[in-house]
Amino acid sequence: MRQNASGQHGAVRKKLSEYAIHLNEKQKIRLTYLVSEKQFAKYYNEAARRKGVTGTILLQILESRLDNVLFRAGFGITRKQTRQIVNHGHVLVNGKKVDIPSYLLKAGDVVTFKANSTEFVKNVINSIDLALAPAWITIDKDALKLTFDRIPEREELDPEFKEQLVIEYYSK
């Protein structure tokens, strides 16, 4: 029997089970995009229904959320902040007020801000670095406008995510 160092009771680490690895990856993606368990399962089912690679489609759906696109474009420092900007009714999509952070943008959608919100938004985005903006979004910083040009390709999304593990999690 092996002796543990003083004060190190039960420090022998067990290898994570396959289920734990899958669950951790799902939680990592879910918490990155700030979606509930129910929303995430809904997005997974939608991705599984569409033609193509389910994992890639899942990430594309998550990237197409209004709060995430604003975050990617630099109209907020965190996803929580962009969620709040949307929730508080500062955002217009194609000229219509949208206050739902999970609103899914389609290619060609134009996102602007309400006239009485522009000062507030300008204070937030003074630190925008357009060089960091993704290729699938066109930003007009002066007009406080962005265009969602297209759905991002898998190569343009976070390489840290192992969406295959999420697919395996849900296929059990």
Q: State residue 2's pLDDT score.
A: 53
Provide the 8-state DSSP code for 65: B
Mean pLDDT of 116-139: 73
- Give the integer Cα–Cα distance in Å for 23 and 19: 6
Strand partners, 137: 148
**Quick one: average pLDDT of 20-45?**
95
State the burial class of residue 6 (Cβ atoms within 10 Å of its Cβ: 0-12, 13-18, 19+): exposed
Q: What is the pLDDT of residues 75-102, one digit of tens each?
A: 888 899 889 999 999 999 999 999 999 9
Q: What's the confidence (pLDDT) of residue 126?
A: 61
**Average pLDDT taken over every residue of the chain:** 87
The rounded distance, in Å, linking the Cα atoms of 88 and 109 is: 20
Q: What is the pLDDT of residues 2-26, one digit of tens each?
A: 555 666 676 677 898 999 999 999 9
